[in-house]
Structure 1
Amino acid sequence: MKFLIVGCGISGITLARKLAENSHQVTIVDEKDHIGGNCFDYFNQEGICIHKYGTHIFHTENETVWRFLSRFTQWFPYQHEVKALIDGQLVPIPFNFNTIEQLFPMEMANRLINALLSEFPFNKKVPILKLRESQSKDLQYLADYVYEKVFLHYTEKQWGVRPEDLDPLVTGRVPVFMGRDNRYFQAKYQGIPLEGYTAMFEKMLDHPNITILLNTKFDKSMSKDFDHCYYTGPIDEYFDYKLGQLPYRSLRFKFLTFNRSYFQTNSVVNYPNNYDFTRIGEYKYFLDTQCGSTVVSYEYPEGFSLGENERYYPIINPENKCLYQKYLDLAKGIDKLTFLGRLGDYKYYDMDQAVSRVLCLINKLPVC
């Protein structure tokens, strides 16, 4: 069979590889001049692997996803840690026991840690909005402190709304960790592709049954030459925005190169309360690149404007979910068309979730 895939991001690439391995002919079209979508990276002259669209760290508990991608890359065993500037100190994020001891006097810190352990299990994550529901005065104080210093202003910058106006799936991504693990993720599998994400994608696409057309805008008339079309672009764009635009948040990056070994103490530093940017990423940390210069990116959240910037994060709330469902109802009336990916499904997907979505889809297809 012949399949058309619109979008050469991680979802489209994974789908193309799986279909090609099942002896199907696959054509991928993408408007961009490169593969990989927003996971695209490249190496500069100093050998630093730079993520063009902001820092991407792969992490998963899904062994099937990990094994699949491991066919196409050797992993650098990177364990991600994030710090934030809070009250003039760089402290571990998510907020944990080490953060408490660094920010509060010893006696107060011990009291707060004991109060946390009396209500929540050790080594577990608790969403900040859940912590605010506690009846303990100590935990109410801590929750208000974390909410104000770590969560509130960062969220307002990142999303342009207060935390309560976001879907719990979004707010749950910013927890308090009941322990001393400074890693941002506790997933079993974590790492960065040793030769970069782009090299991994190139190997995934290296199959005689796959044809790639970059710098190519999708036209619906293309579908007539294929048995099925998988569309990973924006679902509202496919329907020419006839029901209105689905809202997104976007990002603007300012990349700077410094002629010094390092700019900051670790790969990502968040600035919840200071400046207009939310964080600074330093790329040489990801593959432990040793060289005399360093590259960082300042990350400025902004609203998405059609034709002016990139879609990054769908704004998930009841109103937008309802609009997406209306578009999905329109799609049900079209044969041989499937939407997927962050833009097609209008969901926030981590990289492993995007791959898992495709692998589950493939397993249900009668032709595979």
Structure 2
Amino acid sequence: MIDYIIVGAGLAGCVLAERIANKLDKKVLIIEKRNHIGGNCFDYKDENNILIHKYGPHLFHTNNKEVVDYLSQFTSWDIYNHEVLCFIDGKKVSIPFNFNTLYEVFPQSKAKALEEKLLSNFEYNSKIPILELKKSEDKDLAFLADYIYDKIFVNYTAKQWGMKPEDMDSAVTARVPVFIGRDNRYFNDKYQMLPANGYTKMIEKMLNHKNIKIMTNTDFKELCSLKEKDFYLFDTKFEGKVIYTGQIDELFDYKFGELPYRSVDMKFETVEKKFYQEKATVNYPNDYDFTRITEFKHIHPTKSDKTTILKEYPQEYRIGVNTPYYPIFTSTNQENYNKYLEYSKEFENLLLVGRLAEYKYYDMDDIVERALEFFKKENFD
């Protein structure tokens, strides 16, 4: 009586389950190894009545109205503009590095000269990847690029990824730009907001359908097996489609070796004061072993005499020990992934979608867009 098996209850799997149940009137079984739905977006209220994000801060931002309209079926929204500070040489300054930051770290005359140089070379309100700025032949801009690279970028990247920026894919390094303007917001998208009651409540509404069954605390291989090129559910050949959003190397028993990820050790702390820091997130590129501290009361305002903070300690991913967060983009890793991708095409009823299955980093809006497009393009009937 099941038409589709979806492995993983993150955003990709949940969007596809909702579409299949509502648009096709087909029956879906979601299998999730964690004890909750929502994937890394999962949030809940802690003992201080503060809504926290279990797997680190998730801030929704997009320019895609189709994604907003789709998600608005399942939630109302609170407007939220994320701002981040960075701890440099004993002071906290605005990032992404912008014109305001110039005046926070340099004497006024120096800052003004650099501002004029940036405006004469780049479009106002544009973003320039730090590694692109480092290529500048202008000695003042080269000085600025070296300053930002050394003070903000290189050590943070080394902690976060365990490698030098030059060894990484440009898709990652481009995520740390210099902003040509005075906007202190971390994102510049048209829509910046949060589900009014949290991501988990939004996803619960998404999955509230008679055609959707969910099994949490369940490993896919407890119920399913691969024999020859077919999937079996409870030892019976499964004739429907399997939509897999988990780790592709795990699905195929590491046939071509492990695909590496970075993980993060999330350390939550209760602090006996109303607020701990000035903004929701403060980055620590050069000091301490953690990369950043997030205070959730700035994100979800709550009346409480205490506050909850999160310190993030990046670490190597180890199978069965911690959580795979970020695929590590190198040409070697991509080549290895492509072996799995080619092998997966031999399974007629297997569909791959999502960050882990595609070995690709997606923001939340990107993965919703990807799932909606996937539903339109694939032959789900």
Fold-level similarity (TM above 0.5)? yes
Q: Which runs of 5+ in 2 are unaligned?
A: 226-231
Q: Give the 3 Å change call, closer, same or farther, for CA 34–184 of structure 1 in structure 2.
A: same
Task: Find the partner of 1:285 among 298, 323, 328.
Answer: 298
Q: Deviations over 1:7-43 (max 9, x none)?
A: 0011111110011112111110011110011111101
Q: Deviations over 1:242-298 (max 9, x none)?
A: 110001000001110012100000100000000000000101111222321100010
Structure 1's consecutive aligned runs of 4 or more residues displaced over 4 angstroms after TM superposition are: none
Whether the aligned pair in 2 keeps the contact of 1:152 and 1:163 (CA below 8 Å) is yes
SS of structure 1 residue aligned to 2:220? coil
Normalised by the length of structure 2, the TM-score is 0.95
SS of structure 2 residue aligned to 1:147? helix
CA distance in 1, matches of 2:66, 2:21: 19
1:193 Cα deviation after fit: 1.0
Whether the aligned pair in 2 keeps the contact of 1:112 and 1:139 (CA below 8 Å) is yes
Task: Find the partner of 2:65 among 63, 66, 72.
Answer: 63
Does 1:10 pair with 2:23? no
Does 1:99 pair with 2:101? yes
Matching residue's letter, 2:320: G
1:230-269 aligned at under 5 Å gives the runs 230-269=243-282
After alignment, is 211-220 or 229-238 more displaced?
211-220
Task: Find the partner of 1:128 among 121, 127, 130.
Answer: 130
Does 1:50 pair with 2:52? yes
Matching residue's letter, 2:22: E
Q: Give the structure 2 partner of residue 185 of structure 1.
A: 187
1:335-346 aligned at under 5 Å gives the runs 335-346=348-359
Whether the aligned pair in 2 keeps the contact of 1:3 and 1:226 (CA below 8 Å) is no
Normalised by the length of structure 1, the TM-score is 0.98
Q: Give the structure 2 partner of residue 214 of structure 1.
A: 216
CA distance in 1, matches of 2:89, 2:237: 60
Whether the aligned pair in 2 keeps the contact of 1:76 and 1:287 (CA below 8 Å) is no
1:44 Cα deviation after fit: 2.1
1:88 Cα deviation after fit: 1.4
CA distance in 2, matches of 1:207, 1:287: 28
After alignment, is 45-54 or 333-342 more displaced?
45-54
Whether the aligned pair in 2 keeps the contact of 1:93 and 1:184 (CA below 8 Å) is yes
Matching residue's letter, 2:109: E
Q: Give the structure 2 partner of residue 332 of structure 1.
A: 345
After alignment, is 310-319 or 222-231 more displaced?
222-231
Q: Deviations over 1:73-108 (max 9, x none)?
A: 111100001100012111111000000001000000
Whether the aligned pair in 2 keeps the contact of 1:78 and 1:287 (CA below 8 Å) is no
CA distance in 2, matches of 1:170, 1:100: 24
Q: Give the structure 2 partner of residue 25 of structure 1.
A: 27
Q: Deviations over 1:223-252 (max 9, x none)?
A: 833410000000000110011000100000
Whether the aligned pair in 1 keeps the contact of 2:245 and 2:355 (CA below 8 Å) is yes
SS of structure 2 residue aligned to 1:164? helix
Q: Give the structure 2 partner of residue 347 of structure 1.
A: 360
Q: Give the structure 2 partner of residue 313 of structure 1.
A: 326
Matching residue's letter, 1:355: V
CA distance in 2, matches of 1:260, 1:49: 17
SS of structure 1 residue aligned to 2:286? coil
Q: Which runs of 5+ in 1 are unaligned?
A: none
Matching residue's letter, 2:286: N
SS of structure 2 residue aligned to 1:348? coil
Task: Find the partner of 2:145 among 127, 143, 146.
Answer: 143
Q: Give the 3 Å change call, closer, same or farther, for CA 226–210 of structure 1 in structure 2.
A: farther
RMSD over aligned Cα atoms? 1.1
Q: Deviations over 1:287-343 (max 9, x none)?
A: 222321100010000000111100000001100000000000100111100111100
Whether the aligned pair in 1 keeps the contact of 2:48 and 2:308 (CA below 8 Å) is no
1:365 Cα deviation after fit: 3.1
CA distance in 2, matches of 1:226, 1:27: 14
Whether the aligned pair in 2 keeps the contact of 1:6 and 1:218 (CA below 8 Å) is yes
After alignment, is 126-135 or 41-50 more displaced?
41-50
Whether the aligned pair in 1 keeps the contact of 2:133 and 2:142 (CA below 8 Å) is yes
Q: Give the structure 1 partner of residue 370 of structure 2.
A: 357
